[in-house]
Chain A
Amino acid sequence: MRKKLFLLAAALMSVVASFAQPRQISGKVADANGEPLIGVGIVVKGTTTGTMTDVDGSFVLTVPADAVLEISSIGYVSQEIVVGNKTQFDIVLEEDNELLEGTVVIGYGTVKRTNFTGSVTNVNVGESAVANTPKTNALDMLRGLAPGLVMSQSGVAGATPNLQVRGQKSISASANPSVSQPLIVLDGVIFKGSINDIDPTTIESMSVLKDATSLASYGSQAANGVIMITSKKGMVGKPMINFRGSVTLVGQNYTPQLRNGNEYVELINARQGFAPDNTSWMSDLEKANYAAGKETDWIKYVSQTGVQQDYSLNVSGGTEDRKLNYLFGASHSDNKGFIQGNRFIRTTITSRINANINKYISAGMNFNWANMKDDGVRPSYTRFFSPYGEPSMPDGGRRKYIIGANQETALNPLWNVFEGIDAQFRGNAATIGGNVEVKFPWVEGLSYKITGNYTVRNFDTRRFTHERNLILPTDTEYTTETYDKYLAQASGYITNAKQVSWVLDNILTYTREFSDHYVNATLVYTRDYNRNETVRSDGLDFSGVGNTTLGFWGLNNANTQNITTLDYTLHTDVGYLARVNYSLKNKYHLNASFRRDGSSVFGTEHKWGNFPAVGAAYTISDEPWFKVKSIDYLKLKLSWGKNGNQSLQPYGTLSRMAMGKSGGYVGYFDGQPIFAEAMTTLGNPYLGWETTTSWNGGWEVDLLNRVLHWETDLYVSKTTDQIFDRTIPVMGSGFNTQSATMGQVNNWGIESSLRANIIRKRDFTWDATLNFSLNRNKLVKLYGGEKEEDDITNGLFIGKSLGAIYGYEYAGVVQDTDVEFMQKNGRTPGDIMEKDQDGDGVITPADRVILGYTPESFRMNLNTNIHWKNWNLYLMFSGVFSDKKYGKALNNNAVMSYTEGMMYLNTVNHPFWTPENKDNFYPKPWNAAGTLNYVQSYGFVRLQDVNLSYSVPEKFARKIGLSGAQIYVSGSNLFFIAPFWKYSDPEVRNFQSAQLRRTVTVGLNVRF
């Protein structure tokens, strides 16, 4: 049987499709009432050949003989018609009560959209303009398109975003975002790799599951939402070759304005109380540059224009009898970031074959392979040096210590990038999977499916520091003799990390429609397995070898060799699911499920958890009495359920001991070392499931002849039994923290999405979608006990939102006239003044208040698509909004003229207090006493994506042997408006880090 399948695939590969003579066909399209339909698209499947119906609903089209017509119109069920020998067609389109797509992908199956009771956002990325924007990973394509999904952005090539669905539920999530990541399901199977393993161009659509009933199928792993990725499949028709290529220029979207040379000198002198033009504190290097007026812009020094190149090629098709479809693809992405040394390269291979072997049996196979390379060292972006520092040696080589020998040892930010460190991070990930589905011939509607995926990921980190990298400020000459002094400190390591995972699902489904009744029942038994192994070998001291030419490949020549890490973790899960969907008359829909999950990570007595869910929906517009003319469709829905979160790492319930030399503690007695053993983590065998219980209510409505589609969901959720490190009294065990199950966080929110088909003309369509999401959370319980108390140390306040910014309110600068304040608080003019909330004149901890909350007030995204003839323009604006309480962040750099207590660091350019210029907002530039908590609103609107594409007219395309071609330009992050935020991008919120990517892309999509 397997053999047969492979033979079929092989045969298919060798098929050369035969071309028949093109001929003309014509026809009419009407609705069920016989009314002609205007603007219906008629396309020859697998090509760009097509037309639209005119005002009479008529069309004329030239097609090849073996053509399949795809007839589609918004609001109607699409049809496919085999042309055959006919030339005249009368086509009747049925109204689509199931909206755009007929089915919704849910856990372990699909469900008719009408019967769906939950909340899901589906994004067809494959066909939308989003695919034409330079996304570096698959999740990035969802940015701004799914209400309720919050995603971080980074300027670093190869970085993956942190996601949050429907707000922060775990108290520990701000410290450890990984515990709140949604579950990713690829083609129906829990995805065990990294999102970077997936080639974004192979994705057809992505769905974000948000409410409890939709999530319930994944029970224990679903509390933070599920993102279902459906990849492209071959379609009926001859083999089609798709090529996509694009080149992107990458820059930094914001450049912090630092003080220039003279301003810097003014600042440093002011910090030390010197005369404004004093230079005595400068190193000789700085003095020389100061005299020569030679400044270095350190941001510019580490920056470059990045180039991102993306290429992908795939072949897909399917047999006419629909017995087989296939897709084979490859992609290559080379992403050079805007910071020197940052380059991420990924190559992927994808293949999928699905076969309907006979009436009862179908099978599929998929294979994904990705190879990643992220070599080199990224410069430290966190410090800003004297503009008069010197990055080069007289001979033009890089200087290691840019200030000189006797000053704070400022390391050239590009030193480690280019001088004597070899760093490699390379990995590959392969997933092979398959499924077999058997329809039982004896019971109609009963089928059994087994799906399995096996993933192996290997990641190697290799790093070597050559002696050349280690020279000291006192070494004035960079010669071999100098370098040789540091051979004993040359060191390197190789880390091999291996991850092996598999998922195995057994799914028994029964789907049947009896007159008014629709039943879909599913039983699932699933297991998954995730094993990680890490070995790290270190080598130090190459003085015995004489050189380090071999780099990390010569670690075995080191004088000291160690295995410093040997790690093994295994995480296994078992799940049982029973679920039933029932619909009556296509109006009343019910969905109930129960999942029982076991996970290895929990304590022996707490391994199992139960996760029930119930949902109902009511298609009220189908009632005969419902006669609101402007409403075409209205469904109301309500659901409730529980989901779990495995926020615990393997062996997290055990008390760990450090032993032997690697334990790190050694004592000496009579000259002999004795290695100590010590407990390093205090376990807790009582740790169990974190559970989120939630309610979701909402509606879907089509208005004004389906010009408007409006979906709204309201939800409340309660997350209990959270696992996090709590501070414990030290007396019992000597530990200050222990993982414990406790706490409760409530979330509520509104998500709304309004889509308008503003213009629907033959040559001109314009649609726009506005997404709105608002989330609020509240910490209800923390450590339990008789009376809940705030945990001020960790910024946790009962009854308040997570992400509270707590501290002294900034009240400006202490002036000469504030005599009483100075006396009572030991301050001098120019210091920071905090607001004395309790009015006792003294600033004490009692004066601390909540200054705001980090979570945003709400966010809105607007995306719009304008299609005119062969042109398409796509715009996506994303907006995050602050109000009086929410959307706040500390931005002390906007006030303070020094950071980290480092006297010679440059800062952003703003004034400061001096005895001569007594500013009331900016304190003095050094040692201003008091605690500064300066809070700003970070709300912003940015043009996230813009894409303009032109599809080459078919006749031109044909002439050059193509069946379709599209060229485009795209831009991302072109501008933002953040009215209250200063000195950095409002999402980065730190001027010392890399800001975000601003990109401009030109690209080409071609189909053969």
Chain B
Amino acid sequence: MKKNIIISLGFAVALVSVVNSCSKDSEFLKEDPKTIYVKENAFDKASQLDAALVRAYIKFDNMNTIAPLSFLLSEGFAGDVASNLLHGDGSDVLGGTRGESSAATGFNNYWALQSTNGEVLNVWTSLYQLASYANLVLDGMTLVKDLDPAQASYIEAQAKFFIGWSYLRLAECFGGVPIQREFSEELKFDYERATRAETYTYAIENLMAAVAGLPEKPAQNGRAGKGIANHFLAEAYLGRGIETGSTADYTAAVNAANAVISTHPIMTSRFGARAQIGDMGNSNGVPNYRPDGTPYFDLFVKGNYSGASGNTESLMVFEQSEYATQSIYGGYQNAFAVTCGPAFRDLQWSEAKIAEHKAAGVDAGSPWMGPDFDQVNFPGGPLGIHLTGSWGIIGSTDYSDEDVWEGDLAVDDRNNQNVRYNPVVMTTSSPYYMQPVEKDWLAMPAALSRVSGKYTTFDLWGWDMEHCPMMAFGVYFCFQYGRDWYIARSAETYLLRAEAKLRGGDTAGALEDINTVRARANALPLEDADIYTILDERARELAWEEMRWPTLLRMGGNGSNEVMKTQLMHHSLGTEDVPMFAEQTFPEWTLFPIPFDVIALNTGAVIEQNPGYK
């Protein structure tokens, strides 16, 4: 018995020592994330720094495109949550629909802009995110060993380009903002605003560093080069000049613009894929040679965006993938393949028109969704492709698609390049069937804008008809695989230089620059120039390209912005057409509000709100 006990105990002790003979507690509790990359093991090589830079390129590029449909407002579709507002949603050039239901919430009612507006927060967030992606690259540079100095300098220059651009846009949109000089994982709640001039200065410093380190022309299609950095440098000097009144800044802006223009003259003669007389090739049955093309037309031909096509005007492009590569590696396709228009389904007949229809014994509905709408010609009705689908969110204003082209100005290649059509009544039983809908036919406070776009449906040349990945309501619509997107063209640099000259007192020089741009489009030369002339010219030359809100917000300094106020009062959908909104007194603000969340989160210090907001 005793022996048994001892044997058993011995066994028990042996068992215990075996099962407990593991490692020390600290070893046992150590984490080893086998399948996860963390910052510490993600920066080993220069190629990884470049990969981190590519993240910044993607953010930057996506912010620079327009998303005509709401579901395209994400990076997955070559758009960004901030891109439509940056491009001018609610400004003088672009606006959304204002049906009854969206009257109080749409951004285009800029008079009602509040600090809680989510779109403004998107702009703030996207800009700081871009800067932090670039800052992470600079941070990662400290982790990579034996980095080749030439490589290091190029990587750093690209990162600084993005930082400079972010702070340029921040200064333009919000004024002075907190300057975050490095990537920081620490919790921080005591940010303080720099002044607007300081913010411009920070942008200038970074852009100058970018100019110094970038190659003369982009090293690859899609990359930044000296040209694009100087272009934004010019804009940053111009902005700081307006804020501080310093003429030295205007001179610096002119100099930076000169550097761009000297290496990137605008295209004044025909070039590229559709300009070759005698080219017998075709695309989708459409001959390559386009006899009625113009230099301006050639700028927007697929394949003509890069410098390799002989295009000197292109400063930087967002390179899009071809289907073959996109289907394997992923990526983005130019979503701007469909025309833009607001959500027409929200618009209804006016009471008079309803009465008229009733008298004719017809159920009125809306012009696009009445009884017996024409399903054959317009499948999908207001949800169909002819009215840009149910997700349509943005369209041009009367100012940008009519007013700026009036009179002499109609004789202009650029006017032809822009496509626009009026939505017609699709209801077969309506007496107005197939007639273009007029504004006063609709219930107020509905504003109507046309369906428009820059280059969409001239012909089927360059479309990838085989790979239309989406079909909505029985109709295919294709993304334009391989059609790039301009980040900037030197035509805009001319207009920046014109503005710098004008503000510096050289009106003649300004006029000369404007007319250089106009001459290329076969438009008649102007005889006088002021700031509004430049804004009009930007609307013509850079329709659907320019970031309009930053332009307008940049026009003022030191708490006043008469230029923006005038533009908005006269041209925005939010005041011009709708009596209900026209009654409003113009708001006092001259900048976007600092987003409410930013102020609320900053518990350790006070971030002052911009004037004019509650």
Residues on A facing B (Cβ under 8 Å): 1, 272-275, 278, 280-281, 357-361, 405-406, 408, 436, 438, 441, 448, 450, 452, 472-474, 504, 506, 525, 527, 566-570, 572-574, 598-601, 607, 650-651, 653-659, 661, 664-671, 673-679, 682-684, 727-736, 738, 740, 783, 785-787, 789, 793, 825-826, 828, 845, 927, 929
Nearest residue, chain A, Cβ from B25: A574
Not counting A570-B32, A666-B54, a sample of 15 additional A-B residue pairs whose C-beta atoms are within 8 angstroms of each other reads A274-B363, A568-B33, A568-B34, A570-B31, A598-B29, A666-B330, A667-B57, A670-B221, A671-B319, A677-B42, A678-B52, A678-B133, A783-B603, A785-B189, A825-B104
Given contacts A729-B191, A828-B100, contact A734 B129 (CB under 8 A): yes
B27 to chain A, nearest CB (A): 10
The interface residues of chain A lying within 8 Å CB-to-CB of B188 are 729, 731-732
**Residue interface mask B157-188, A partner, CB < 8 A = 1:** 00000000000000000000010100111111
Q: Is B244 close to A, CB under 8 A?
A: no
Given contacts A733-B185, A927-B101, contact A673 B39 (CB under 8 A): no
Interface centre among B30, B35, B37, B42, by most chain A C-beta atoms within 10 angstroms, is B37
The interface residues of chain B lying within 8 Å CB-to-CB of A525 are 20
Query: 18 A–B contact pairs at CB < 8 A?
Result: A278-B363, A450-B16, A568-B33, A568-B34, A573-B29, A574-B25, A600-B31, A655-B39, A656-B37, A659-B42, A670-B319, A674-B54, A676-B51, A676-B52, A684-B185, A730-B124, A733-B185, A734-B129
Q: Is B439 close to A, CB under 8 A?
A: no
Give the docked Cα–Cα distance between A793 and B600 (Å).
11
Q: CB distance B132 to A734 under 8 Å?
A: yes
Q: CB distance B58 to A656 under 8 Å?
A: no
Give the docked Cα–Cα distance between A727 and B187 (Å).
10
Q: CB distance A436 to B15 under 8 Å?
A: yes
Number of A-B residue pairs having CB atoms within 8 Å of each other in the complex: 258
Q: CB distance B191 to A1 under 8 Å?
A: no
A575 to chain B, nearest CB (A): 10
Q: CB distance A280 to B371 under 8 Å?
A: yes
The interface residues of chain B lying within 8 Å CB-to-CB of A668 are 222, 319-321, 325, 331
The interface residues of chain A lying within 8 Å CB-to-CB of B1 are 358
Give the docked Cα–Cα distance between A793 and B474 (Å).
40
B334 to chain A, nearest CB (A): 12
Give the docked Cα–Cα distance between A684 and B597 (Å).
22
Contact of A665 among B54, B222, B380 (CB under 8 A): B54
Give the docked Cα–Cα distance between A511 and B191 (Å).
61
The interface residues of chain A lying within 8 Å CB-to-CB of B180 are 731-732
Give the docked Cα–Cα distance between A436 and B222 (Å).
70
Give the docked Cα–Cα distance between A787 and B220 (Å).
52
The interface residues of chain A lying within 8 Å CB-to-CB of B130 are 734
Residues of chain B in range 4-41 having any CB-CB distance to chain A below 8 Å: 4-5, 7-9, 11-12, 15-16, 19-20, 22, 25, 28-39
Q: CB distance A572 to B29 under 8 Å?
A: yes
Given contacts A568-B35, A666-B329, contact A729 B51 (CB under 8 A): no
**Residue interface mask B374-394, A partner, CB < 8 A = 1:** 010001100100000000000
Nearest residue, chain B, Cβ from A574: B25
Give the docked Cα–Cα distance between A784 and B325 (Å).
50
Q: CB distance B58 to A665 under 8 Å?
A: yes
Instruction: Indicate the size class of the contact surface on chain B.
Output: 35 or more
Contact of B319 among A658, A665, A669, A826 (CB under 8 A): A669
| Chain A interface, DSSP helix/strand/loop, else mixed | loop
Given contacts A655-B38, A674-B50, contact A358 B28 (CB under 8 A): no
Q: CB distance B580 to A826 under 8 Å?
A: yes
The interface residues of chain B lying within 8 Å CB-to-CB of A735 are 132
Q: CB distance A361 to B133 under 8 Å?
A: no
Q: CB distance A656 to B603 under 8 Å?
A: no
Q: CB distance B471 to A472 under 8 Å?
A: yes
Q: Is B522 close to A, CB under 8 A?
A: no
Q: CB distance B322 to A358 under 8 Å?
A: no
User: Ordered nearest first, which 9 A-B pairs have the shortest CB separation?
Assistant: A734-B132, A280-B371, A785-B603, A676-B54, A676-B55, A734-B129, A732-B184, A673-B329, A669-B220
Q: CB distance A732 to B186 under 8 Å?
A: yes
Q: Is B604 close to A, CB under 8 A?
A: yes
Q: CB distance B369 to A406 under 8 Å?
A: no
The interface residues of chain A lying within 8 Å CB-to-CB of B55 are 665, 676-678
The interface residues of chain B lying within 8 Å CB-to-CB of A359 are 5
Contact of A657 among B37, B320, B598 (CB under 8 A): B37
Q: CB distance B132 to A733 under 8 Å?
A: yes
Nearest residue, chain A, Cβ from B125: A730
Nearest residue, chain A, Cβ from B349: A273
Q: Is B601 close to A, CB under 8 A?
A: yes
Give the docked Cα–Cα distance between A570 and B32 (Å).
8
Q: CB distance B371 to A667 under 8 Å?
A: no
B537 to chain A, nearest CB (A): 32
Give the docked Cα–Cα distance between A304 and B3 (Å).
67
Contact of B601 among A438, A527, A728 (CB under 8 A): A728
B70 to chain A, nearest CB (A): 12
Q: CB distance A361 to B12 under 8 Å?
A: yes
Nearest residue, chain A, Cβ from B603: A785
Contact of A669 among B99, B222, B473 (CB under 8 A): B222
The interface residues of chain B lying within 8 Å CB-to-CB of A651 are 31, 33, 36
Q: CB distance A731 to B29 under 8 Å?
A: no
The interface residues of chain A lying within 8 Å CB-to-CB of B131 are 734
The interface residues of chain A lying within 8 Å CB-to-CB of B129 are 730, 734
Give the docked Cα–Cα distance between A816 and B96 (Å).
28
The interface residues of chain B lying within 8 Å CB-to-CB of A653 are 31
Give the docked Cα–Cα distance between A361 and B471 (Å).
74
A931 to chain B, nearest CB (A): 10
Give the docked Cα–Cα distance between A278 and B39 (Å).
63
B502 to chain A, nearest CB (A): 35
Q: CB distance B603 to A786 under 8 Å?
A: yes
